[in-house]
Amino acid sequence: MHTYIMSLATRWNTLRHSPLPSPGWDGLRFRRTSGELRTMPIILGLALLIMLAVVFGPQWWIRRVLARHGDDRPDFPGTGSELARHLLDQAGLSQVKVERTDAGDHYDPLDHAVCLLPQHHDGRSVAAVAVAVHEVSHALQHARGERAFALRFALVNRLIWIDRIASGILLLAPVVFILVKAPLVLVLQVIAGLLLLTIRVVVHVATLPVELDASFAKALPVLQRGGYLAASDLPAARSVLRAAALTYVAAALATLLDVARWFRMLRF
């Protein structure tokens, strides 16, 4: 009995002082996989934040700039619409109308109208003045037959039909798949729709030179030479004109969400 107890004590001392067993490659692989699983949501979250910043950041910045410089100024002699009317008449474009709209500030070449949001049509602010002059500049581009504006007008007209065709192809894709039972046909149809949507992005980006010309080659010099704004207000006007020029770029980035959504459907 004494010998058996001594044997147990010896074995216990050996086990207590021996190193712990190594986890081996399986243990290391498990720890690495667990770490990757914990890191993946962080990476996906950062990617989502970056995508949202790229898509919605420009739109947020444009709205912020317009709001920052949108306070009415009692020292301004007229509204945005009154300034637009004055500049159009001065340029010999009395046939071009100035209208209030809720569809965003723009110049309508078909209706020959400068369309301004209520706060810019009726407002007496730096934003109202700068936006009004920017849209009048598009009317000047149209009246002078400038090539870049004509190209943009043609592209935008075709974009309407491109959007309709793309929407039709993408909406009919599931129906065609059910009728034909051929996955390849569905894939080709969705790819065609996505290419048509991508053309919308290209068209919006192609209009950027026209917008920059309207803001900085035409509107800003008019504000500077005509004395419609004080020198202290010109930096704010420059910011508003930059925002007006980048409106279509912001719209193009928003279009990327549609493309990404259809790519996700294609994956599944």
Alpha carbons 122 and 78: distance in angstroms, whole number: 9
Sequence-distant (6+) residues with CB within 8 A of 172 are 189
Alpha carbons 134 and 138: distance in angstroms, whole number: 7
Sequence-distant (6+) residues with CB within 8 A of 121 are 79, 80, 81, 98, 99, 100, 101, 128
What are the E-state strand segments in 31-175? 97-100, 106-108, 113-116
Residue 7 — pLDDT band, cuts 50, 70, 90? Answer: low
Mean pLDDT calculated for residue range 133-144? 97
Comparing CA positions, the residue from 267, 216, 232 lying closest to residue 126 is 232
Alpha carbons 40 and 28: distance in angstroms, whole number: 18
pLDDT the model gives residue 8: 47
pLDDT digits (tens, 9 = 90+) for 13-54: 554 555 545 555 455 555 556 555 566 667 766 766 776 666
pLDDT digits (tens, 9 = 90+) for 72-99: 999 999 999 999 999 999 999 999 999 9
pLDDT digits (tens, 9 = 90+) for 214-226: 999 999 999 999 9
Residues annotated catalytic, as ranges: 135
* Domain layout of the chain by residue ranges: 50-267
